[in-house]
Structure 1
Amino acid sequence: MTSTPFLIVAIDGGAASGKSSSSRTLSERFNLLHVDTGSYYRAVTAEMLRQNVRADDPAAVHAALARLALGTRVDGRSAVMTLGDRAAGDEIRSREVNDHVSHFAAIPELRAALLTYQRSQADVARAHGFRGLVMEGRDIGSVIFPDADFRFFLHADQVERARRRAQEGQQDSIAERDRLDSSRKASPLTCPAGATSIDTTHLTLAEVVDRMAAAIATKLPA
């Protein structure tokens, strides 16, 4: 009797491309642990700001990173980052964090510090009995899990993504986020070679999910 394989699904894309909604839906459909790495960078950014650390102060960033005690709390099907005895909360979606997260995320030392932590979420998924892991971000298929079983890259035009953000009550500058995330030297936002690219501009959430689910179901039936 063949055991059910543990699958890793990587979903990359820019802000409001549909990563989060699609990832959450896939996690429910296939019992996968959902990991939003964007929330991890936001949580670390919020902690840096709480400590009055600036992204352009390498010494302060280095010292703050050395003090971080990262852990994970599984909430339903989501892996939530904890810092010491605190779990990331609503503050990670604040305007201040929105304005600073891409600057902190561009720091190579910070990205290196989170690399092992992000990969360790696969062990968390296994320990909690999930059938796999669906991880969303900007460098999952290219850096974190380049050998993931499935790698998807979602994209949509800026007008549509700005409309989606406005509907969510967010005030991100889509064009600026794209510029910073795509031009950074450390793990820039890009469609990984061999990944499946999906333009979500004119697709419903259900249509996007169904495209990915059809591929996943070949290895992991719903």
Structure 2
Amino acid sequence: GAGVAVPGPLDHRGGVLHRVTGFPQWDGYPLRDALATRTGLPVVLDKDTNAAALGLALGADGPADFAYLHLGTGLGAGLVLGGAVHRGERTGAGEFGHQTVQLDGIRCGCGGRGCLEALCLAAVGRGDAAEAARVLGTGAANLVGLLDIDRVVLGGRTVAADPDTYVRGVRAVLDERSRRDGVRGTPVPVTAHREGDRPVAEGAAQLVLGPLFGRVDPAGAP
């Protein structure tokens, strides 16, 4: 079989793409079935962020609840809750980059305004990694506050180009939010995967290999 990881949003169960940021013409395209027809292989399709989170979860000895935040051409999240990838009822969970953080802010490729992704990529485009990290940290803090996760893992080619800046910036926002909220205990750890898109590729392989070896439910967690 073949595991395929692509940017979301998409329908994981149906293998159909939705309105991928920057590629609206892909909306409704049955990529899984098209690839299966071309290759003659069974194909499992998932978001790149979910694939990376799956690969990290299968190889991790750490917390059962964490978020993988991927910054590259876009910004998304893979969520692992209770040790399993969380995709949601419509398999659309993890569209992290399209939370609105600035009302009437700059236009995003999704058509909205003030999306976290738009602000973060604008800072990246200006060469301001510190500001991009601060924006990313704001979104990460929202996620930690909402889900009370135990760890944040950063990844993607943009992060891999300057991992220390991104870890430092995200950690600073999380620590400040924790102090402001009066949260006691060890701050949520922030780490970076320094090998770019490798977690995505390894996770895509696990979409097929995991069920074969009994390591993961092929349908994923709801």
**Shorter-normalised TM range:** 0.3 to 0.5
Q: Which has the higher contact order (CA 8 A, sep 6+)?
A: 1
Normalization by structure 1: what TM-score?
0.32
Normalization by structure 2: what TM-score?
0.32
More helix by share: 1
